Structure 1
Amino acid sequence: MVRTYEEAVAWIHGRLRLGMKPGLKRMEWMMEKLGHPERRVRAVHIGGTNGKGSTVAYLRSILQAAGYSVGTFTSPYVEQFNERISINGEPIRDEEIVELVQTIKPLADELEQTELGGPTEFEVITAMMLDYFGKKNIQDIVLIEVGLGGRLDSTNIIYPLLSVITNVSYDHMNILGDTLDQIAAEKAGIIKSGVPLVTAVNESEAWDVIAKTAAERKAKTYRLGVDFTVSDRQATAEGEQFSVMTPFAEYPNLRISMPGAHQVENAAVAVMAAELLRLGYSFLIDPEHIADGLATAAWPGRFERVSDHPLIILDGAHNEAGIRALVETVRTHYPDKRVHVLFAALTDKPLERMIQRLDELADTITFTTFDFPRAAAAEQLADLSSHRHKASTGDWVGWIGGKKNQMGSDELLLITGSLYFISEVRKLLKNNAK
């Protein structure tokens, strides 16, 4: 019997040995045993390649500003495991994790003896979340982020009020497919019959798949740039300012603190989603709730300025589209800075194309590795770079300490790559700051 928080988390992470097993059969089995808690969760389902977490943050902040209690399910975590299941941005308590594991572990043990086999780590965490929000602590609404893909993701057991697909680009190609239409077909799997869809997908190859699926399922679609639009965007010292026009209202001079054109898109998607919750499900959301919610929204590890002197920014850009958005944001907001890049990534990413884009931005670039099963070696990453001033290090902790002491006011240290790596760096810098 699991009795402590440490035992509970160790058991959950122990499920990693089972790897990924796409499909919903094990989730259906567990939901049946639990009395179908997923049917009692009022949810928004958020998928896409990039921007899921930021979109969750914007929409949560809007709903909170309107006075609602909002559950969220996100991954990966940045500071502590518990934040994957949160209420109003606050991770659930250690004791609650223990109670949930005490409920789910006997089911996992029983399931392991069937032909379906034992549930994976992500399936276990998803079942914990649905049991929590469906039975133990029911919320006004729960924002559920897709883990990987959509069609066969364990979160796809839900039937949401609203579906969101932020965008479609290349990532996890060994699982989702190596063309945009294949990847889009997996993302489109979360579209449910008669459930409205909000999306910022703009690549024609991906959009054709999304539009066809939505039409087949009679899901009314709201597409950024067509059904709702962004205008008057300008970079500010604090982030971004812009206006959003939906089919139902206009929201001028909105502000966000997370910089980048991609964050403006994520925020606009959240505004459209909030509109549909107001109109379709009687959520009492006023224009000031939208403005206040966007202005106060934050998401750790996404172009996060963790130090001003010296200037250090963390960004979990973990695929080519993420790196592209990061490079554009740095050039827009810090055009006069000398940029030093520290990069670490997982081996299953399009590393050559990612590094090529960073090479074009950086004045110097240093590659490192970290303690994670799929982390690429520092030398492997450096071999893919053609930069004149490239280096590699196995000691990123010491390297950051040394770099901080050398930097001047005209320099920027940009630490990017895997979100798992960003999580480790963030912990180090926060502890040092204390």
Structure 2
Amino acid sequence: MNYEEALSYIENTQKFGSILGLERIAKLLEMMGNPQKKLKFIHVAGTNGKGSTCAFMQSVLTQAGYKVGMYTSPSFLRFTDRIRIGKEEMDEDRMAEIMTRIKYNIEEMVLSGLQSPTEFEIITALGLVYFYEENCDLVILEVGLGGRLDSTNVIEAPLVSVITPIDYDHMDILGSTLEEIAGEKAGILKAGSELVLYPQKKEAEKVILKKAEELQIPVHKVSFRDSRVLKFDGLYQKFSYEGEEYRLSILGEHQIKNALVAIEALYALEKHGFRVPHESLVRGLSVAKWPGRFEILQIEPTVIIDGAHNLQGVQVLKSNLMKYYRGKKITIILGVLKDKMYREMIRELLPLAKNFKLITVNNVRALPAEAISEEIRKVEEEIHEESAAKAASQKKKRKKEFDFEEVSYVRKECFATVEEAVDSALNESEPDDIICALGSLYYIPEVHRYFGEED
């Protein structure tokens, strides 16, 4: 197969759906020589912040001279950018060569009466074979969905497990409570490893710590008390941690916390022989890149893209926008999937919005732009009714006059394409205005390409 044929083969396996379980991936890897058993791993699970944390760790370890593979999902600009060694993404010809072998083994599996692996399982196998054959010193492996039954969990005990912030997402698969979701994420924990843990909500953290205790896994809970933001200028941010200063080009105050998780994971890794000089730590953090996360694509007007696609992600984005662009009303480009908590996300965004440019994400699970517009209207009505009820309550209790403020309904426009939405936002903006595109990583790369950002 050539690259295009290999890519088409992978995409056609979408018909098998996203079926959780490790039997298919384990069998496929066995037929490929079990490359995962010959590699060392950092395994990263969580709802938000996984990719950024992986990027920080890989950048630092690469600066320290190690050959480090990184497997993330989904792809951003190109299929091959999800499988990297150092700064280089997987070569297309190499991908096609490995996929030819994988396809042969899948055909053998099906002939013997076994289920065909799913799309994500095939891509996971592709990455693991590639990292092994390229003699990586270490692989940073990001969980695709959940943890316990995710195909990345086919590995044996990693050197370090990392769990980033956990919140409500994929509830139809992972469970409707934080305890259930945390239990799925904690499924990556294995005896013989150790855990670096982002501070979690109490109910999630209790589940994770119990699992770690059962497995007798050392836990390194990250503390943010010794960190302080020093500077943000729209191009980079500086912070201090334990008396040392660091600089990040990945923006957003939450990224400082992700960087601290990465630092603690690298400290935990040192006992396994992966020494990281301080200058490599400083340099690696400063040059790390992770596209589509509070990324500024241009100024005058300022255009920001952010992959926030769940409630926690939107709350973090809102906090950053309020901190860095205080008092500014923002043109919001929005596309979402219908299985997300989109009404709660809209409620968070409304106080910031000057207007909405709405698109339908190119995905079978997309909520149509017209439906998003209607949901925004419904949320505005809810806010109006809540405000009116509060005013009536204050009046009834004969308290001082309640300042009832009529809801200011924002303009909502629907567009057939992402390009049309961006064109409209730019045409209506003044140089000091802010435009922010968010809601789904399935369309954010199109905004990236609009501005000629290909790397």
Give the CA deviation at 1:284: 2.3
**Pair 1:142-2:139 in alignment:** yes
CA apart distance, 1:382:
1.3
Match of 2:185 in 1: 187
* SS of residue matched to 2:451: helix
Number of residue pairs aligned between Structure 1 and Structure 2:
422
Greater displacement, 98-107 / 281-290: 281-290
Contact 1:260 1:328 in 2 (8 A): no
1:177 equivalent in alignment to 2:175: yes
Runs ≥4 residues deviating over 3 A: 113-116
Q: Deviations over 1:330-356 (max 9, x none)?
A: 111111433110100111111111111
Paired residues for 1:24-423 under 5 Å: 24-114=22-112, 116-134=114-132, 136-159=133-156, 160-225=158-223, 229-237=225-233, 238-244=235-241, 250=242, 252-278=244-270, 280-385=271-376, 386-387=379-380, 388-395=409-416, 396-423=418-445
Contact persistence 2:47–2:169 (CA under 8 A): yes
Q: After superposition, what is the alpha-carbon deviation per residue over 1:258-308, rounded to whole angstroms, capped at 9, x for unaligned?
A: 232321111000000111112x11212112211111111110000111111
Give the partner amino acid of 2:256: V
Q: Which runs of 5+ in 1 are unaligned?
A: 245-249
Equivalent pair of 2:300/2:433 in contact (CA under 8 Å): no
Query: CA contact under 8 A between 1:74 and 1:85: conserved in structure 2?
Result: yes
Give how far 1:229 is off. 4.5
Aligned-pair Cα RMSD in Å: 1.7
Corresponding residue for 1:247?
Answer: none
Does structure 1 conserve the Cα–Cα contact (< 8 Å) formed by 2:44 and 2:161?
yes
Deviation at 1:203, TM superposition (A): 0.3
* 2:251/2:295 contact within 8 Å kept: no
SS of corresponding position for 1:253: strand
Which whole-Å CA distance do the structure 2 matches of 1:261 and 1:403 have between them? 26
SS in 1 for 2:298: strand
Deviation at 1:430, TM superposition (A): 1.4
TM-aligned CA deviation for residue 178 of structure 1: 0.6
Structure-2 separation of matches of 1:230 and 1:367: 41
Distance 1:405 1:254 in 2: 38
Tell me the amino acid that sits aligned with residue 351 of structure 2.
Answer: E
Give the deviation of 1:69 after TM superposition.
1.6
Residue aligned with 2:275, SS = coil
Report the residue type matching 1:343 in the other structure.
L
1:194 touches 1:220 (CA, 8 Å); kept in 2? Answer: no
What amino acid is the match of 1:111?
Answer: M
Deviates more, 1:380-389 or 1:116-125: 380-389
Aligned residue for 2:75, secondary structure, equals coil
Name stretches of at least 5 consecutive residues in structure 2 with no aligned partner.
381-408
Distance 2:373 2:428 in 1: 22
The answer to whether the 8 A contact 1:338-1:410 is kept is no
**How does the TM-score come out when normalised to structure 1?**
0.94
Structure 1 residue 216: Cα displacement: 0.6
What letter is aligned with 2:41? A
Q: CA deviation at 1:410?
A: 2.4
Deviations 1:350-405 (A, max 9, x none): 11111111112212222211322211100111111145113131333123113213
- Give the Cα–Cα distance (whole angstroms) in 2 for the partners of residues 307 and 97 of structure 1: 33
**Deviation at 1:230?**
3.8
User: How many Å separate the matches in 1 of 2:422 and 2:64?
Assistant: 41
Structure 1 window deviating more from structure 2 (259-268 vs 228-237): it is 228-237
The structural deviation recorded for 1:197 is 0.5
Q: Deviations over 1:63-86 (max 9, x none)?
A: 111111211101111110011111
Per the TM alignment, residue 115 of structure 1 is displaced from its structure 2 partner at its CA by: 5.0
Aligned match of 1:13: 11
Report Cα offsets for 1:128-149 as digits up to 9, x if no partner. Answer: 1111112x21111111100000
The CA distance in 2 between the partners of 1:253 and 1:312, in whole Å, is 28
Q: Match for 2:289: what amino acid?
A: A
Q: Which has the greater radius of gyration?
A: 2
- Do structure 1's residue 430 and structure 2's residue 452 form an aligned pair? yes
TM-score if structure 2 supplies the norm length?
Answer: 0.89
> In the alignment, is the contact (CA less than 8 A) between 2:333 and 2:421 conserved in 1?
no
Q: Does structure 2 retain, via aligned residues, the 8 Å contact 1:24–1:157?
A: yes
Name the SS of the counterpart of 1:363 in structure 2.
strand
**CA drift at 1:235:** 4.5
Does the CA contact (< 8 Å) of 2:354 and 2:411 recur in 1?
A: no
- For the 8 Å contact 1:30–1:127, the answer to whether it is kept is yes
Letter of the structure 1 residue corresponding to residue 350 of structure 2: D
- Closer, same or farther in 2 for the Cα pair 1:57/1:222, shift >3 Å? same
- Counterpart CA distance in 2 for 1:149 and 1:102 is 29
Q: 2:331, 2:277 → 1: CA distance?
A: 43
Determine helix, strand or coil for the equivalent of 2:102: helix
Distance 1:176 1:216, change over 3 A: same
Report the Cα distance in structure 2 between the residues aligned to 1:5 and 1:285, rounded to whole angstroms.
Answer: 36
Write out per-residue CA displacement over residues 58-114 of structure 1, whole angstroms, 9 at most, x where no aligned residue.
111111111112111011111100111111121111101101111111122222345
